[in-house]
Amino acid sequence: MSVRHALLALLSEGPKYGLQLRQEFEARTGDVWPLNVGQVYTTLQRLERDGLVEADDTTEEGPQKGFHITEDGAAELAQWLRTPPDFSSPPRDELVIKVLVALGLPGVDIHDVVQVHRRYLVELMQQWTRLKEDESRFDLNFALVVDAELFRLDSLLRWLDTAEGRLKRAAAGVDAPLPQAGPLPKARRKVGNRS
Amino acid sequence: MSYLELHDVSKTYGDGIAQVHALQGVALSVDAGSLVAVMGASGSGKSTLLTIAGSLEDPTRGEVFVDGRPLSTLSRNGKARLRRQSIGYVFQDYNLLAGLSALENVSLPLELDGVAARKAQGVALEALEDFGLTDRASHFPDQLSGGERQRVAIARAVVGGRRLLLADEPSGALDSTNAEAVMRQILAACHRGMAAVVVTHDAQLASWADRVVFLRDGRIVDQTMPAQRPEAFLADLPNA
């Protein structure tokens, strides 16, 4: 979560003061990521030091002190929005590590280990889905946050399901990789060659 | 109060070396008004569980109770009557009759049960209204989107005060928006007092349930704990 860039985004809409930034940040993120006001002011000071925001001259010091974005700040925000996060290297996912470690341990039933994590993930998904049921709370920002969390948890569950399928095949002696795309049959290859 | 109960239910297909134990000692109870999801890999016994719960197949061992009645005591006709009057089924491929309109599809089970056509269609229209499908009543299945077809199928499954809804991968062929609409509809039926069992391999679908049970190799191996209140869950989230 880049608080720094989230604050720049809020200031790109117009000048704001610290408390207001905190309230709007929380509202925009569906009240899922609470922010303490100290974090807001520390971040604003750094942004000011880097020339990305400026304090308004006209406003007073303290909680009512206003800030506005600079040209450099707007350019930094535009650049950040279009820069994909770094997904190039696999994270050291604790769940993956636990399953890999469990594989080699005597006396550990890997299916039990997988099931413990599966149940926990489904329980978390149930909690997030429950939040969808209350439509009075369910604005667009909140819906997007909940969806993101559900898809993240779901991807972990799918990995667990796939892992368990692979382990079962391996235990049954069918431990070769899934069928691979071999060379195409002759007739089709000919078609391919022509194109 | 449990509307559906499975006591030590087992189902075996085939003999000798070809014998398959599709279900082994399954115990499950589903209260009126609650939604239970059954998750498991392909071949884990999910669909068998559903067909046995719905009296479409008999267990090899054990007993199924629907509204307190043991299914083994019902005749073939008695089971058929129970299915017509109390149980609604939802399948992945909708199973709507192509030559009938949405309204006729929904009213059909009532008419088959002896309700006069005019009255049956009135009740069916109410069911379609409940799910926001009034303007689709005269459409034929091929004039409906996949999501609408499934929602009509759910209206058909709940029409006429049925009490048990059994759904097999009800949103398997739908995108996530329509899948959510289908689950909201099933949940709405539960809020009106239906007991529902949804079998699925899709966790996003299962997460709408009050309880998720996990099947592996024909056995229930685990189930989720009841969820916290949403306020408590949100309050417990770690800060950014």
State the Cα–Cα distance between residues A131 and B208, nearest whole angstrom. Answer: 10
Provide the edge-to-edge strand list for the sheet that holds B20-31. Answer: B20-31, B2-13, B61-66, B69-70
Which chain B residue lies closest to A31 (C-alpha atoms)? B234
Per-residue pLDDT at B102: 96
Domain boundaries, chain A: 3-81, 94-171
Per-residue confidence at A26, pLDDT binned at 50, 70, 90? confident
CA distance B94 to chain A (A): 25
Does residue B176 register a pLDDT over 50?
A: yes
Radius of gyration in angstroms for the set of CA atoms belonging to chain B, rounded to a whole number: 18
Pick the residue of A4, A126, A130 with the most B CBs within 10 A to test the interface with B by mutation: A126
Is the pLDDT score of A178 beyond 60?
no
Q: Tell me the domains of chain B and their CATH numbers.
A: 2-95+140-236 (3.40.50.300)
Counting residues of chain A whose pLDDT is more than 70, the rounded percentage is 83
Any idea which residue has 């679908």 for tokens? B205
Q: What is the pLDDT of residue B128?
A: 93
Contacts with A194 (C-beta within 8 Å, 6 or more apart), sequence order: none
Mean pLDDT value across chain A: 85
Please check whether the domain covering A3-81 is classified as CATH 1.20.140.160: no
Contacts of A157 in chain B (CB under 8 A): 203
Taking residue B143's Cβ as centre, other Cβ atoms within 10 Å add up to 12
Selecting from A118, A126, A150 the residue whose C-beta is nearest the C-beta of B214 gives A118
Binning pLDDT at 50, 70 and 90, where does residue B236 land?
confident
Please name the residues in contact with A5: beta carbons below 8 A apart, sequence gap of 6 or more: A76, A77, A80, A81
Q: Which helix (H) or strand (E) holds B165?
A: strand B164-168
Rounded to the nearest 5 percent, the helix, strand and coil shares of chain A are: 65, 5, 35
Which tokens belong to B222?
Answer: 């685990």
Q: How confident is the model at residue A194 (pLDDT cuts 50, 70, 90)?
A: very low
Q: Which residue has the tokens 């925000």?
A: A77
Residues 6+ apart with CB under 8 A from A155: none
